[in-house]
């Protein structure tokens, strides 16, 4: 391959065009810069080498330093004011899987007194009127919504909670027989409920006696059930229901209420023993029979 003169080679090198080709044994084509012009013509055409793109070297990294930043003038101090803030839309109340939303306020006695069956059940399900609502499994009343009698026990029991119905288990079976003895069918003519809809539990999870505050918190629910059923007779079972509905201390013996016809919201009331007690003391069934006969004689059926 023919070579090129040293001057051309110097120009090509300055332009970054490499490599340069020269004849073997020829003088170095890229010697020191040429000071005198070359007058002789070039006898042969110059074969230019293929120009390869030359990547420019990357800039050297510069360590970050506050000294590299221009001096900044601090903004003027502005007194804080709510007027400077943009208007914000109210935060929507969302259901939270973590239970962080605020609890609904407890329903009032007046609100309960105006409820229908659907509203009443919903109010019991979301009740906040006493501490029994924490971890509750409320038990709703059952039976005829248009009833001859309303039968009210005291507090919800573990058996009621398990079966999701008031007066569950063996006590409930005995109640069916007691009502049949005075010509009443539990499912179609009687509405059965517990005064206290949630089970009062002790610290270890066992059952305990309810407090007067718990009984008073639930009483408006029972009064609304009574109004909705249109029952002409209330039969209370046991000491708690009889005393709470008459406004007596819960610990007062049941004997003071038995054998008489009382009244609640214009409806006659007769108190008798709880079927669970009768299962433990069979001899007292005669007392309960007398109470049933008293209620039957005053329930308006003639």
As a whole number of angstroms, the distance between CA 106 and CA 108 comes to 6
Query: Residue 143 belongs to what domain range?
Result: 109-297
* 3-state SS, residue 143: strand
* 3-state SS, residue 20: coil
As a whole number of angstroms, the distance between CA 97 and CA 113 comes to 32
Residue 34's pLDDT band, with cuts at 50, 70 and 90, is: very low
Instruction: Look up the CATH number of the domain holding residue 193.
Output: 3.40.470.10
Query: Is position 166 within any domain?
Result: yes
As a whole number of angstroms, the distance between CA 222 and CA 114 comes to 13
Number of domains in the chain: 1
What are 242-274's pLDDT values in tens digits? Answer: 999 999 999 999 999 999 999 999 999 999 999
Query: Is position 103 within any domain?
Result: no
Query: Is position 78 within any domain?
Result: no
Query: Is position 195 within any domain?
Result: yes
Beta carbons within 10 angstroms of residue 194's beta carbon: 27
Residue pair 257/281 in contact (Cβ under 8 Å)? The answer is no
As a whole number of angstroms, the distance between CA 265 and CA 250 comes to 20
Query: Is position 248 within any domain?
Result: yes
What are 278-290's pLDDT values in tens digits? Answer: 999 999 999 999 9
pLDDT at 67: 54
Query: Is position 228 within any domain?
Result: yes
Residue pair 231/149 in contact (Cβ under 8 Å)? The answer is yes
As a whole number of angstroms, the distance between CA 108 and CA 220 comes to 9
Query: Is position 74 within any domain?
Result: no
The DSSP annotation for 50-111 comes to PPPP-PPPPPPP----GGGSPP-PPPPP----GGGSPP-PPPPP---TTS-SPPPPPPPHHH
pLDDT at 86: 52
Query: Is position 205 within any domain?
Result: yes
């Amino acid at each position: 391959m023919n070579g090129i003169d040293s001057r051309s080679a110097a120009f090509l090198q300055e332009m970054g065009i490499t490599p340069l080709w020269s004849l073997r044994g020829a003088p170095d084509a890229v010697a020191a810069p040429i000071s005198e012009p070359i007058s002789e013509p070039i006898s042969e055409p110059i074969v230019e080498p293929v120009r390869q793109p030359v990547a420019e070297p990357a800039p050297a990294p510069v360590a970050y330093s506050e000294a590299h930043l221009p001096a900044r003038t601090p903004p003027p101090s502005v007194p804080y004011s709510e007027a400077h803030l943009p208007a914000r839309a109210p935060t929507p109340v969302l259901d939270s899987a973590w239970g962080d939303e605020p609890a609904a306020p407890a329903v009032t006695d007046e609100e309960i007194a105006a409820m229908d069956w659907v509203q009443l059940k919903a109010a019991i399900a979301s009740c906040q009127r006493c501490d029994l609502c924490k971890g509750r499994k409320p038990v709703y009343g059952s039976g005829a919504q248009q009833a001859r009698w309303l039968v009210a026990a005291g507090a919800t029991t573990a058996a009621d909670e398990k079966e999701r119905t008031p007066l569950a288990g063996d006590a409930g079976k005995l109640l069916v027989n007691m009502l049949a003895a005075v010509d009443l069918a539990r499912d179609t003519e009687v509405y059965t409920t517990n005064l206290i809809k949630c089970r009062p539990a002790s610290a270890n999870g066992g059952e305990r006696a309810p407090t007067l505050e718990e009984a008073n918190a639930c009483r408006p629910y029972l009064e609304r059930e009574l109004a909705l059923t249109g029952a002409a007779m209330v039969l209370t079972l046991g000491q708690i229901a009889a005393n709470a509905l008459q406004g007596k201390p819960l610990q007062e013996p049941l004997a003071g209420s038995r054998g008489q016809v009382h009244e609640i919201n214009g409806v006659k009331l007769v108190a008798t023993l709880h079927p669970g007690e009768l299962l433990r003391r069979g001899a007292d069934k005669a007392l309960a029979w007398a109470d049933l006969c008293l209620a039957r004689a005053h329930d308006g059926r003639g």
